[in-house]
């Protein structure tokens, strides 16, 4: 079922195999009809993760990139919408030579071709494929049928099925295996037999529970893996190794270890020894669903490990500050303030109240995407004196300090399209941005449409906020040199943060909080 931990399980399997010296890539299959995750509400589906090529994808690809320390592209996320669109386009072009187009073989062939092409183009030794949803979901049937066919087409030992399932506790604390039995039964009716069962449970699986699952699901006892709740997701690969899953995978795939990578183990050991703590207030509009800010949570964690501290997040709903301005006093309790990305007017004024507090109280501040735009608006209003300054996305205003830019010189009408994926920024020598990154040119991922209006740059910089990162007429970084730490980026540095290589702005932000 959704939210069970298939993404973390897949990423952890990838990390285990990477530790053994193998090159791993990954594909996430989402059976929903959407072409991609770009238009989906974070309250329903968690954050939209952005890849280097601009692909807007499921958050599980973020887990893959972080655990495998790799970069993926939009081809690594398959949806029903993508598959059906490709099949219909081929039908319209006459590629099927007049045949009646059907789920089998046309849709299933398209699925198989896409998976094999991604695996082939990646140059990886092993390709992980995570099929989202629940066994029995009507929209997932073509994907399960496609992998059933692949099992017969690939040579023995080249394909392995892992089934992630739930083992709940009843009222008296007994581990119940019936959901797993029924799930495997449903899988078998579709012609698929799991080679291993990863059982999600609150506490470690008891030996008798493992034996029962092994007996009723016809899986070797060594292939029944307890994936009980861990303190932190980074511990899951180690937990699976403790269960002997690494040895079972290697045996079933006829592989031998090329190395015994210890980097992940060392990182987890370092994390376990940390005693210091800092608190950051995250001022958001989707705070009731923490997965809406998953990459930010992980980037703060990576930066904390690097700085030798744990980062506690205080979740503050932006609208709560608008309803009760006195609630801003809560920010006294934290060591830093972070305003993340977002779209639309809801909560914007509350976020600016938090930004003003950070600026006036000299509290470490990190603004991301929309957070940078709001920082510029707040500064224009309260320091430049443009009282009605705003973004043309949010309201009609005499002073649109955030606006759409002309796409080319000579175009009279303002127009813009979504800016997605990797773009370069040139940094100002000697600036905070330059010190943070240690170089003059950087590449980071973007997801926005509106920009800082170049007409207002001079008046803003004259009052003490500088734009220390630029891409031609686009402002990429805003900072206040006189402030303890005030850094805001038009891009999303959280998407490129890795446990082994934390994002530079996040690392510097956590360091500033520690210093405070």
Residues with catalytic annotation? 369, 492, 494
The rounded Cα 440 to chain-centroid distance in angstroms is 27
State the distance between the two ends of the chain, measured CA to CA, in whole angstroms. Answer: 43
- Residue 212 CA to residue 206 CA, distance in Å, equals 10
Q: Residue 192: which region, alpha, beta or left (left: phi > 0; alpha: psi -120 to 50)?
A: beta
- Residue 32 CA to residue 497 CA, distance in Å, equals 28
Tokens of 124: 């990886």
Q: Who contacts 22 (Cβ-Cβ below 8 Å, separation ≥6)?
A: 124, 125, 126, 255, 258
With 0-12 / 13-18 / 19 or more C-beta atoms within 10 angstroms meaning exposed / middle / buried, residue 85 is middle
Q: Which residues, listed in sequence order, are joined to residue 56 by a DSSP beta bridge?
A: 50
Of 298, 33, 243, nearest in space to 139 by CA: 33
Contact call for residues 456 and 401 (beta carbons, < 8 A):
yes
The rounded Cα 221 to chain-centroid distance in angstroms is 34
Contact call for residues 303 and 276 (beta carbons, < 8 A):
no
Using only C-alpha atoms, the chain has a radius of gyration, in whole angstroms, of 25
Of 340, 408, 404, nearest in space to 375 by CA: 340
For residue 163, the surrounding DSSP H or E stretch is: strand 162-166
| 3 state DSSP class of 255 | coil
Pairing mode, if any, of strands 441-448 and 419-427?
antiparallel
Pairing mode, if any, of strands 419-427 and 400-403?
unpaired
Contact call for residues 192 and 148 (beta carbons, < 8 A):
yes
Tokens of 221: 């006892």
Of 351, 353, 316, 308, nearest in space to 333 by CA: 316
> H helices within 139-206, ranges in order?
141-153, 178-189
- Residue 389 CA to residue 377 CA, distance in Å, equals 6
Q: Which residues, listed in sequence order, are joined to residue 126 by a DSSP beta bridge?
A: 24
| 3 state DSSP class of 195 | coil
Q: Which residues, listed in sequence order, are joined to residue 285 by a DSSP beta bridge?
A: none
């Amino acid at each position: 079922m959704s939210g069970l931990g298939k993404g973390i399980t897949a990423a952890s399997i990838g990390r285990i195999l990477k530790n053994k010296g193998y090159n791993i890539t990954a594909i996430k299959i989402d059976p929903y009809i959407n072409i991609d995750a770009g238009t989906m509400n974070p309250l329903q589906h968690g954050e939209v993760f952005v890849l280097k090529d601009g692909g807007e994808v499921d958050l599980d690809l973020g887990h893959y990139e972080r655990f495998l320390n790799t970069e993926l592209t939009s081809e690594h996320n398959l949806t029903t919408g993508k598959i059906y669109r490709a099949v219909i386009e081929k039908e319209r072009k006459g590629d099927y030579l007049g045949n009646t187009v059907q789920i089998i073989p046309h849709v299933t062939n398209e699925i198989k071709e896409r998976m094999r092409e991604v695996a082939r183009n990646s140059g990886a030794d092993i390709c992980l494929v995570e099929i989202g949803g629940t066994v029995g979901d009507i929209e997932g049937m073509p994907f399960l049928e496609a992998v059933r066919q692949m099992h017969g087409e690939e040579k023995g030992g080249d394909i392995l099925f892992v089934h992630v399932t739930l083992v709940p506790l009843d009222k008296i604390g007994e581990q119940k295996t019936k959901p797993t039995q029924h799930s495997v039964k449903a899988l078998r009716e579709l012609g698929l037999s799991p080679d291993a069962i990863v059982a999600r449970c609150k506490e470690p699986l008891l030996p008798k529970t493992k034996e029962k699952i092994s007996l009723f699901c016809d899986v070797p006892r060594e292939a029944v893996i307890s994936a009980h709740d861990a303190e932190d997701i980074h511990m899951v690969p180690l937990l699976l190794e403790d269960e002997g899953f690494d040895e079972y995978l290697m045996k079933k795939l006829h592989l031998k270890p090329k190395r015994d990578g210890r980097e992940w183990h060392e990182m987890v050991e370092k994390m376990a020894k940390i005693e210091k703590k800092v608190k950051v207030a995250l001022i958001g509009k989707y705070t009731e669903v923490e997965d809406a800010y998953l990459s930010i949570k992980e980037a703060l964690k990576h930066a904390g490990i690097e700085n030798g501290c744990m980062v506690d997040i205080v979740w503050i709903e932006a609208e709560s500050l608008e309803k009760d301005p006195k609630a801003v006093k809560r920010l006294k309790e934290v060591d830093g303030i972070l305003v993340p990305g977002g779209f639309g007017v809801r909560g914007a004024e509350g976020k600016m109240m938090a930004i003003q507090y950070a600026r006036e109280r000299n509290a470490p501040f990190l603004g991301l995407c929309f957070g940078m735009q709001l920082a510029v608006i707040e500064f224009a209003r309260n320091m430049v004196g443009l009282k009605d300054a705003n973004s043309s996305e949010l309201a009609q205003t005499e002073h649109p300090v955030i606006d759409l830019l002309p796409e080319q010189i000579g175009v009279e009408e303002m127009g813009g399209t979504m800016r997605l994926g990797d773009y370069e920024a040139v940094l100002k020598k000697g600036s905070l941005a330059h010190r943070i990154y240690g170089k003059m040119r950087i590449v980071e991922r973007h997801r926005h449409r509106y920009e800082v209006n170049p007409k207002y740059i001079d008046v803003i910089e004259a009052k003490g906020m500088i734009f220390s990162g630029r891409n031609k007429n686009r402002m990429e970084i805003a900072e206040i040199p006189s402030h303890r730490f005030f850094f805001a980026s038009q891009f999303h540095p959280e998407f490129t943060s890795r446990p082994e290589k934390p994002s530079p702005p996040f690392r510097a932000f956590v360091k500033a909080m520690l210093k405070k």
